[in-house]
Chain A
Amino acid sequence: MDIPFDFLTNALVDIPFDLLVNALVAGLLLGAFYAAVTIGVSISFGMLDIVNIAHPGFIILGSYIAYIVNTRLGIDPILASIVVAPAFYALGALVYQVYYASFERYGQEALRGLAFFFGLLFVTEVTLILVFGVDYRYVEAPYIGPSIPIGIIDLPLRMLVPCLVALALIGTLQLFLSWSFLGRAVMAVAQDQLALQLMAASPTRIKRVAFALSIATTSIAGALLIVIQPVEPSIGREYIGRVFAICVLGGLGSLPGALIGAFLLGIVESVTSTFYGPSWAPAVAFGFLLITLAVRPAGIFGR
Chain B
Amino acid sequence: MRTLTFFLVCLAVAAAVFVLARLVGNDYVFFAGYVVLQYIVLATAWNILGGYTGYVNFGSAAFFALGAYASVFLHKAFPVVTTYFLDEPYALPIPALIVIGAIISGFVGLGMGYLTLRLRGAFFAIATLALAVVLQTLITNWSYVGGARGAYVIRPNEIEPIGPYIHYLFLLMLALVVIALTVARSIERSRLGLGFAAIRDDELAAEASGVPTLKLKLIATTISGALMGMAGAPFPYYIGYLQPSSAFALDYAVNSIAMPMIGGTTSWVGPLIGAVLLGTLQQVATVTISSSVNLLIVGLLIVDCVIIAPTGILGLLQGRRTARDVVADQAVFALLFVINVIPIYFLHQEALSARPLEIIFWAVLIFLALARGRMIGLPWLVALPIVGAALSVVPGPSWLWLVSALTLVICLACGLLLRPREAIVRSGTP
Interface set of A (CB-CB < 8 Å, partner B) = 1, 4-7, 45, 51, 53, 94-95, 97-98, 101-103, 105-106, 108, 110-116, 118-123, 126-127, 129-130, 237-238, 240-241, 244-245, 248, 279-280, 282-283, 285-287, 289-290, 293-294, 297
Using CB atoms, name the residue of chain A closest to B51. A111
Stretch at the interface among B280-288, B329-337, B367-375: B329-337
B380 within 8 A of A: no
Partner of B332, one of A45, A98, A114: A98
B296 within 8 A of A: yes
Check if A130 sits within 8 Å of B296, measured CB to CB: yes
Check if A129 sits within 8 Å of B292, measured CB to CB: yes
B2-39, CB < 8 A from A: none
**Pair count A-B, CB < 8 A:** 172
Check if B261 sits within 8 Å of A115, measured CB to CB: yes
B141 within 8 A of A: yes
Check if B299 sits within 8 Å of A119, measured CB to CB: yes
Which residues of chain B come closer than 8 Å to A240, judged between CB atoms?
129
Which residues of chain A come closer than 8 Å to B265, judged between CB atoms?
111
Which residues of chain B come closer than 8 Å to A290, judged between CB atoms?
115, 127, 130-131, 134
Partner of B129, one of A95, A120, A241: A241
Most chain A CB within 10 A, of B125, B133, B145, B326, is at B133
In the complex, what distance in Å separates the CA atom of A114 from the CA atom of B76? 39
**B321: shortest Cβ distance to chain A, in Å?**
14
Check if B138 sits within 8 Å of A283, measured CB to CB: yes
A-B contact list, 6 entries, CB within 8 Å? A4-B76, A102-B329, A115-B56, A241-B130, A280-B137, A290-B131
In the complex, what distance in Å separates the CA atom of A51 from the CA atom of B143? 36
In the complex, what distance in Å separates the CA atom of A110 from the CA atom of B204? 14
Which residues of chain A come closer than 8 Å to B118, judged between CB atoms?
297
Which residues of chain B come closer than 8 Å to A113, judged between CB atoms?
306
Check if B302 sits within 8 Å of A119, measured CB to CB: yes
Check if B335 sits within 8 Å of A94, measured CB to CB: yes
Partner of B296, one of A123, A280, A294: A123
Partner of A98, one of B77, B119, B142, B307: B307
Partner of A6, one of B76, B137, B143, B342: B143
Using CB atoms, name the residue of chain A closest to B257. A115
A123-B329 contact, Cβ under 8 Å, with A6-B144, A283-B138: no
Known: A122-B254, A285-B133. 13 other contacts (CB 8 A): A4-B144, A6-B143, A7-B142, A53-B58, A101-B326, A115-B306, A118-B302, A123-B339, A244-B126, A279-B137, A283-B137, A286-B134, A293-B126
In the complex, what distance in Å separates the CA atom of A294 from the CA atom of B144? 30
B298 within 8 A of A: yes
B186 within 8 A of A: no
Check if B428 sits within 8 Å of A105, measured CB to CB: yes
Which residues of chain A come closer than 8 Å to B339, judged between CB atoms?
123
Which residues of chain A come closer than 8 Å to B300, judged between CB atoms?
119, 122-123
Check if A1 sits within 8 Å of B331, measured CB to CB: no
Interface set of B (CB-CB < 8 Å, partner A) = 50, 54, 56, 58, 73, 76-77, 115-116, 118-119, 121-123, 125-127, 129-131, 133-134, 136-138, 140-145, 148, 250, 254, 257-258, 261, 265, 292-293, 295-296, 298-303, 306-307, 310, 323, 326, 329-332, 334-336, 339, 342, 346, 428, 430
**B313: shortest Cβ distance to chain A, in Å?**
15
A45-B122 contact, Cβ under 8 Å, with A101-B326, A105-B430: yes
Check if B56 sits within 8 Å of A114, measured CB to CB: yes
Check if B292 sits within 8 Å of A126, measured CB to CB: yes
Check if B303 sits within 8 Å of A120, measured CB to CB: yes
A119-B310 contact, Cβ under 8 Å, with A126-B292, A126-B295, A248-B123: no
Which residues of chain B come closer than 8 Å to A106, judged between CB atoms?
430
Check if B134 sits within 8 Å of A122, measured CB to CB: no
Which residues of chain A come closer than 8 Å to B307, judged between CB atoms?
98, 102, 116
A114-B127 contact, Cβ under 8 Å, with A7-B142, A95-B335, A282-B137: no
Which residues of chain A come closer than 8 Å to B430, judged between CB atoms?
105-106
**B146: shortest Cβ distance to chain A, in Å?**
11
Using CB atoms, name the residue of chain B closest to A294. B115
In the complex, what distance in Å separates the CA atom of A289 from the CA atom of B112? 13
In the complex, what distance in Å separates the CA atom of A282 from the CA atom of B132? 11
**A236: shortest Cβ distance to chain B, in Å?**
11
Partner of A7, one of B138, B254, B261, B293: B138
In the complex, what distance in Å separates the CA atom of A6 from the CA atom of B144? 8
Check if B331 sits within 8 Å of A111, measured CB to CB: no
Partner of A102, one of B127, B258, B326: B326
A101-B56 contact, Cβ under 8 Å, with A119-B300, A283-B138: no
**A63: shortest Cβ distance to chain B, in Å?**
18
